[in-house]
C-alpha cells in the first residue's frame, strides 16, 4: 500500500533537518511531513565527520551532533520528530522518482506519494574506480560522506596504529583528513595534481602557509602528480600506491577526496538542470510544479553576482532549506517571501587552525598579515578585488568580530584602487567598513 504525505523531503542530511525545523516553526499537522533517507540515523551536522568524529580521544558521536547544533540551535533528536508528528523513514533508498505522478519508489518496492516534494539528496563522492584507476577496489581504500563511512575508517585507524596513510586529493577532505590522521599518529602523505592545495579557493600565498604548517606537523606532501594504481596483499588489502611520476609508496590506509557530484540521477530528463545541479528560482522552486530542490543539488540565482550557482557547503544547505519551506508555507496563504540573497560562506578547521571565507574568489588578490607557518599565532588573510571593488575576503584565526568584519566587506564590496595600500592596511581595512 502506498503511503501519502502532504510534504516529502527526499534525503535526510543537513538540509532535511533544517527544513524540518522550519516546517515545525511555521506550523505543521501530525502526519503531514515525511523525511525519507537512505541513512539509518536522523539528520546530523555532516561537517563533524571529517573533524571531531575521528579524534583519537573523546571523538564526537551521535546523538551529540544531530542538527541544528552546528549553528547554535536546538538538537533535534529522533524523539523531536515523533513529538512533531514528522515521519522519519530511515534506511530507505529511493530508486525511482516519477515527478509527473508525484510518487517515489524505494529499493524495497514501497511507494510514497506527495503533494509537495523537496529534493535534498546532497552529493555523492567521486570514486577512483570512476576514472578506472587500477586496483582502486582494494580493501582499506576509504571515501567519506556518511556516518557509516566514518565508522569504517575509524575502526581501521584504531586497528592499525602507526600505519602508513595516503591521502588522495588536496581539497577539503584531503586537508581535513590529513590533519586528523596525523592527530591519530599515522604516517601521512598527501598526493594531489595541482601546484598547491585547495586551488578551488586558495591563492598561492594562502596555500604556502597551510602546506608549510602541515609539513611542520609531519605531513608529507607530493604535488603535481596523480595516483595511477594500487597493489594489494593476499588478503586484498591495499599495500602500495603507484604514482604517475613513477614513484611507488607503501600504504596501509588510503583516504580519497577527489570531489563530489550532486545526486540528481533520479530526476534526469524530468526537471531542468543547470551547471550540474537542479535549476531553481530564488525560492528553490524547480521547473516542475510543487517540486523544490535545496542544498548541494540546487543551482540557484546568486543575487549578489547576478549568476546561477551551485554551492556545496553547509551554511547554504541550512539557509536554502529554510528559504524553501518559508516560500512553500507563504504560497499556501497566497503570500510571498523575499528572494534568497545569499553571501557565500565557507570555512574549515584542522589542527589548531580555523579559517573563514566570504564572497567571491575572483579578480586580483592581496595577501595580508603574518602567514609564516613558524609563527606562534599566525593571523593572515586575502582580499579578492574585481572592477575596483573588494568582492571576497579570507581570514585565518580571526576572532568572531574580525570574521564579522570580513563578511561585511564581502557583502558591501567597498572600493579599493590601491592594492599595495590594501595589503598594508590588511585587517584594519575590514574593521573600518
Ligand atoms: P547531505 O549530503 O547532507 O544529505 C543528503 C542526504 O540524502 C543523505 O542523507 C543521503 O543519504 C540522502 N540520499 C541521497 N540520495 C538518496 C536516495 N536516493 N534515497 C534516500 N536518501 C538519499 N561544509 C562546510 O561548509 N564546512 C565544513 O566543515 C564541511 N565539512 C564537511 C565534511 C564532510 C565529511 C562532508 C562530506 C561534507 C562537508 N561539508 C562541509 C559540506 C556539507 O556537509 C554539505 O554541503 C551539506 O551536507 C549538504 O547538505 P545536503 O542536505 O544538500 O546534503
Ligand atoms: P574538493 O573539490 O574540495 O577537492 C577535490 C580535490 O581532488 C582537488 O583539489 C584535487 O586536489 C583533487 N583531485 C582531483 N582529481 C584528482 C585525481 N585524479 N587524483 C588526485 N587528486 C585529484 O572535494 P573533496 O575534498 O573531495 O570534498 C567533497 C565534498 O565535500 C565537496 O562538496 C566539499 O565542498 C565538501 N566538504 C567541504 C568541507 C568544508 O567546507 N570544510 C569539508 C569536507 C568536505
pLDDT per position as a tens digit, 303-324 = 999 999 999 999 999 999 999 9
CA of 261 relative to ligand 2 center, distance in Å? 10
Mean pLDDT of the region 275-287: 98
Q: Kindly state if the Cβ of 313 falls inside 6 Å of ligand 1.
A: yes
- From the CA of 267, the nearest ligand is 1
Would the CB of 38 count as within 6 Å of ligand 1?
Answer: yes
**Phi and psi for 146 in degrees, rounded to 5?**
-120, 170
Ligand 2 pocket check for 260: Cβ under 6 Å? yes
- Give residue 198's pLDDT: 98
The predicted-structure confidence for 190-210, as pLDDT tens digits, reads as follows: 999 999 999 999 999 999 999
Overall average pLDDT of the 252-256 stretch:
98
The Å distance, Cα 128 to ligand 1 centre, comes to 20
User: If you measure from the C-alpha of residue 369 to the centroid of ligand 1, how many angstroms do you get, rounded to a whole number?
Assistant: 34
Is 50 near ligand 2, meaning CB less than 6 Å away?
yes
> Band of the pLDDT at 219, cuts 50, 70, 90?
very high
Distance 160 CA to ligand 2 centre (A): 25
Residue 219: name the closest of 210, 228, 208 by CA. 210
- Is residue 10 a contact partner of residue 36, using CB atoms and an 8 Å limit? yes
Q: Is the pTM value of this prediction over 0.90?
A: yes
Ligand 2 pocket residue status of 13, Cβ below 6 Å: no
Phi first, then psi, for residue 128 (nearest 5°) are: -65, -25
**CA 396 to chain centroid:** 19
Cβ neighbourhood burial of 237 (10 Å; 0-12, 13-18, 19+)? middle
Question: Is the beta carbon of 174 within 6 A of some atom in ligand 2?
Answer: yes
pLDDT band with cut points at 50, 70 and 90 for residue 176: very high
Atom of ligand 2 nearest to the CA of 175: 25
Q: Are strands 33-36 and 3-10 parallel, antiparallel or unpaired?
A: parallel
Beta pairing class for 277-279 and 298-302: parallel
Strands 273-274 and 277-279, how do they pair? Answer: antiparallel
Inform me whether the pLDDT recorded for 34 exceeds 80.
yes
**Do residues 103 and 115 touch, judged by C-beta distance below 8 A?**
no
Residue 173 CA to ligand 2 center (angstroms) comes to 6
Of 214, 154, 152, nearest to 188 by C-alpha is 214
Which residues are CB-neighbours of 254 under 8 A, at least 6 positions away? 140, 141, 142, 165, 166, 167, 168, 230, 238, 241
Residue 308 CA to its chain's centroid (Å): 19
CA distance 203 to 90: 42
pLDDT digits (tens, 9 = 90+) for 388-413: 999 999 999 999 999 999 999 999 99
- Closest ligand 1 atom to Cα of 46: 43
State which H helix or E strand residue 20 sits in.
Answer: helix 14-26
List the domains of the chain with CATH numbers. Answer: 3-124+261-333 (3.50.50.60), 128-258 (3.50.50.60), 352-432 (3.30.390.30)
**Exposure b/e, 124-139, CB count within 10 A at least 16 = b:** ebbebeeeebebbebe
CA-based nearest residue to 198, from 413, 70, 346, 304: 346
CB 169 near ligand 2, within 6 Å: yes
Tell which atom from ligand 2 comes closest to the C-alpha of 170. Answer: 11
pLDDT for residue 30 is more than 90: yes
Which ipTM value was assigned to this complex? 0.98
Q: What is the pLDDT of residue 1?
A: 77
d(CA 327, CA 318): 15
Q: For 354-388, what is each residue's pLDDT tens digit?
A: 999 999 999 999 999 999 999 999 999 999 999 99
Q: Is 171 in the pocket of ligand 2 (CB under 6 A)?
A: yes
Q: How far is the CA of 304 from the centre of ligand 1 (A)?
A: 25
The residue contributing the CA closest to ligand 1 atom 29 is: 47
Instruction: Give the mean model confidence (pLDDT) for residues 150-161.
Output: 97
| Cβ(182) – ligand 2 distance below 6 Å | no
Ligand 2 proximity of 313 Cβ (cutoff 6 Å): yes
Find out whether the beta carbon of 301 lies less than 6 Å from any atom of ligand 1: no
257 in contact with ligand 2, CB cutoff 6 A: yes
> Is the bond preceding residue 131 a cis peptide, omega within 30 degrees?
no
Distance CA 328, CA 347 (A): 30
Calculate how far, in angstroms, residue 417's C-alpha sits from the geometric centre of ligand 1: 40
Q: What is the mean pLDDT of the chain?
A: 98
Calpha distance 427→109 (Å, rounded): 57
| Among 85, 50, 81, 55, CA closest to 66 | 81
Q: Is the pLDDT of residue 163 over 80?
A: yes
Mean pLDDT of 235-249: 98
By alpha-carbon position, which residue is closest to atom 32 of ligand 2? 312
C-alpha triplet 243, 244, 246: angle, nearest 5°: 70
DSSP code string of 132-157:
T-BTTT-BTEE--SSHHHHHHHHHHH
Residue nearest to atom 3 of ligand 2 (CA): 171
* Calpha distance 293→8 (Å, rounded): 12
Instruction: Estimate to the nearest angstrom the gap between the alpha carbon of 181 and the chain centroid.
Output: 19
Kindly give the distance from the C-alpha atom of residue 22 to the centroid of ligand 2, in angstroms, as a whole number. Answer: 30
Residue 39's CB is within 10 A of a number of other CB atoms, namely 19
Distance 182 CA to ligand 1 centre (A): 25
**Cα separation, 82 vs 415, whole angstroms:** 52
Amino acid at each position: 500500500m502506498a503511503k501519502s504525505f502532504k510534504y516529502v523531503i527526499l534525503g535526510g542530511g543537513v538540509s532535511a533537518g533544517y527544513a524540518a525545523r522550519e516546517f515545525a516553526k511555521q506550523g505543521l499537522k501530525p502526519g503531514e511531513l515525511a523525511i525519507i533517507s537512505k541513512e539509518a540515523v536522523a539528520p546530523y551536522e555532516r561537517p563533524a565527520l571529517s573533524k571531531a568524529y575521528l579524534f583519537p580521544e573523546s571523538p564526537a558521536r551521535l546523538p551529540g551532533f544531530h542538527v541544528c547544533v552546528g549553528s547554535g540551535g536546538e538538537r533535534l533528536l529522533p524523539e523531536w520528530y515523533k513529538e512533531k508528528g514528522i515521519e522519519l523513514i530511515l534506511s530507505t533508498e529511493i530508486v525511482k522518482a516519477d515527478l509527473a505522478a508525484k510518487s517515489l519508489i524505494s529499493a524495497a518496492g514501497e511507494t510514497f506519494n506527495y503533494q509537495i516534494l523537496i529534493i535534498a539528496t546532497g552529493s555523492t563522492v567521486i570514486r577512483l574506480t570512476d576514472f578506472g584507476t587500477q586496483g582502486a577496489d582494494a580493501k582499506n581504500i576509504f571515501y567519506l560522506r556518511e556516518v557509516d563511512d566514518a565508522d569504517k575508517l575509524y575502526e581501521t585507524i584504531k586497528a592499525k596504529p602507526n600505519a602508513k596513510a595516503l591521502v588522495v586529493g588536496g581539497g577539503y577532505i584531503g586537508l581535513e583528513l590529513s590533519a586528523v590522521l596525523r592527530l591519530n599518529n599515522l604516517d601521512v602523505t598527501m598526493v594531489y595534481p595541482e601546484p598547491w592545495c585547495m586551488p578551488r579557493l586558495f591563492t598561492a600565498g594562502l596555500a604556502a602557509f597551510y602546506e608549510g604548517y602541515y609539513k611542520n606537523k609531519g605531513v608529507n606532501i607530493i604535488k603535481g602528480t596523480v595516483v595511477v594504481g594500487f597493489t594489494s596483499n593476499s588478503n586484498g588489502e591495499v599495500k602500495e600506491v603507484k604514482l604517475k611520476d613513477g614513484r611507488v609508496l607503501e600504504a596501509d590506509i588510503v583516504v580519497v577526496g577527489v570531489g563530489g557530484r550532486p545526486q540528481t540521477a533520479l530526476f534526469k530528463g524530468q526537471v531542468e538542470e543547470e551547471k550540474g545541479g537542479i535549476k531553481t528560482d530564488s525560492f528553490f522552486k524547480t521547473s516542475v510544479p510543487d517540486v523544490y530542490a535545496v542544498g548541494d543539488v540546487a543551482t540557484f540565482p546568486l543575487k549578489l553576482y547576478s549568476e546561477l550557482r551551485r554551492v556545496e557547503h553547509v551554511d547554504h544547505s541550512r539557509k536554502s532549506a529554510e528559504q524553501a519551506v518559508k516560500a512553500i508555507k507563504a504560497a499556501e496563504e497566497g503570500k510571498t517571501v523575499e528572494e534568497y540573497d545569499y553571501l557565500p560562506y565557507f570555512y574549515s578547521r584542522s589542527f589548531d587552525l580555523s579559517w573563514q571565507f566570504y564572497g567571491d574568489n575572483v579578480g586580483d588578490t592581496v595577501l595580508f598579515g603574518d602567514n609564516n607557518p613558524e609563527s606562534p599565532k599566525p593571523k593572515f588573510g586575502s582580499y579578492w578585488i574585481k572592477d575596483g571593488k573588494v568582492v571576497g575576503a579570507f581570514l585565518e584565526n580571526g576572532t568572531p568580530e574580525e570574521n564579522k568584519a570580513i563578511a561585511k566587506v564581502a557583502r558591501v564590496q567597498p572600493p579599493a584602487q590601491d592594492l599595495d595600500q590594501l595589503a598594508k592596511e590588511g585587517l584594519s581595512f575590514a574593521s573600518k567598513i
